[in-house]
Each structure stands twice: as structure tokens, then as C-alpha cells.
Amino acid sequence: DVKVTQSSRYLVKRTGEKVFLECVQDMDHENMFWYRQDPGLGLRLIYFSYDVKMKEKGDIPEGYSVSREKKERFSLILESASTNQTSMYLCASSPDRGSLTEAFFGQGTRLTVV
Amino acid sequence: GDSVTQMEGPVTLSEEAFLTINCTYTATGYPSLFWYVQYPGEGLQLLLKATKADDKGSNKGFEATYRKETTSFHLEKGSVQVSDSAVYFCALSISGGYNKLIFGAGTRLAVHP
């Protein structure tokens, strides 16, 4: 069974903290993605990666960075957390560059910044 | 730019009612189209997809037809169940775009017995 695992379901962090959200996939997929989900806005792409050590900005990269040192792991980093980054964060992976196959999602991390 | 527009929710139905959730898209290329579903407390999972015009995707009693002439991909089910209560997302993916998905805002469906 294919699996995308996010390290935490719920996180509470303080303003200004550096926050790491971890995602691991076991399907040997090339592509990995970080989205944030907010009511009424759907899912918005933060960053994606199509290969190890490669990264591309999505639609809302400001305030975030990413790391992909290994193919199976894609980390999202909030350099200095702010209250407007309170959201649900979803990691996804998919095979092949340019493929039109489906993406597989993790269960999500609900981050609250206080 | 590329975008997806879905009907606003919430949609509230009685069990066994007919469901339609409208989805239209704007795309410069030839997208593949998807419906994803998110059950309470879970991540998204693929419900169905269609990769070219006039294709019909179907799964679990849900159907959607890729209509290029109206740039639409409406989701339908003939008889909903309480277990179908979830948030439904329409999405598109452009060939050559690293399989990035562009999502609509989502439509919450609540089905009552």
C-alpha cells in the first residue's frame, strides 16, 4: 500500500520559532509537494521538488523554505513562524516528471502558531 | 493563468438524493482533470480522473465527464450516502508541469439520514 507520512498531525509553535515539517514517501516518487489548505482557498502550492536537492517555488513560497536531501524525504521549514502561517499543511508525492498520474497525499499537519 | 472554479458549499442533501458539484477550469494547455475527496481528519485521496476530452472518470458511484467545449468537469452521483459526507476538490494538472495540481476551493458535502 502506497504511503506518504507526515511526522506530526498537530503542532503548536510560538511566533518567531523555526518550525520543521517532515514528509516521507515510500513509493520512490520523483516529485514531492507541499501545500497549505485554508477554508475557502482550497490547496495552494508552497514549494515542490522534482529530484533530490532540486526545488521550485510554488504560488506562495514567502516565509517558507524546503529541503530534499534524500529522494524519499521532503521537509518544509518555516524560518520564523508567524500567526498567519497557522494552517493545515499537506505533503504529496507523484511519479515522473510531467506525468499525468495521480498525486498521493499525507494525512496533513495542523499547525497553530501562537 | 491556470485555475479551477468550484461551486461554493456547503451542499446539504438527504440520503439517496442526486448530487452535482460544478467545476469549471481555465488552462492554456491540455490538462488532465481530477476529483479528490477529503474525509474528516484525513488527507486527500483521488476519487476519479480524466485525461482527455470526452473521457468519463468513475469510482464509487461518482462520475465526471471531461467537457472541453464548456471547460467543465462536474461531479455527479445518483444516490448519495451519509458516508459520502466530505470535502470534494476539483483539480487540474498540465502536461510537462511536473504534475503540479491546481485545486479549486473545495466543496463541503453533508448528507443527512
**For residues B42 and B61, is the Cβ–Cβ distance under 8 A?**
no
Which residues partner with B11 through β-bridges? B109
Give the model confidence (pLDDT) of A41-84 as tens digits: 889 999 999 889 889 999 999 999 999 999 999 999 999 999 99
**For residues B104 and A41, is the Cβ–Cβ distance under 8 A?**
no
| Contact residues, chain A to chain B, C-beta under 8 Å | 4, 31, 33, 35, 40-45, 48, 50, 56, 58, 90, 92, 94, 96-103, 105-108
Residues 6+ positions from A1 with CB-CB distance below 8 Å: none
Calpha distance B28→B17 (Å, rounded): 36
A101 pLDDT more than 80: no
Which residue type occupies B35? W
Q: Find the residue in B nearest to A43 (Cα).
A: B103
Q: Find the residue in B nearest to A94 (Cα).
A: B99
The single-letter DSSP state of residue B110 is: E
Report chain A residues whose CB lies below 8 A from the CB of B97. 98
Report chain A residues whose CB lies below 8 A from the CB of B43. 4, 90, 105-108
CB neighbour class for A95 (10 Å; exposed up to 12, middle 13-18, buried from 19): middle
What proportion of chain A, given as a percentage, has pLDDT over 90? 76
Nearest Cα residue to A3 out of A112, A99, A106: A106
In terms of DSSP bridges, do strands B11-14 and B107-112 run parallel, antiparallel, or are they unpaired?
A: parallel
Calpha distance B76→B84 (Å, rounded): 12
Q: Indicate the pLDDT class of residue B95, thresholds 50, 70 and 90.
A: low
**For residues A100 and B51, is the Cβ–Cβ distance under 8 A?**
yes
Which of A90, A97, A98 lies closest to B44 in CB terms? Answer: A90
Q: Tell me the average pLDDT of chain B.
A: 92
Residues 6+ positions from A30 with CB-CB distance below 8 Å: A50, A51, A71, A94, A95, A96, A97
Give the model confidence (pLDDT) of B31-65 as tens digits: 899 999 999 888 899 999 998 899 999 999 999 99
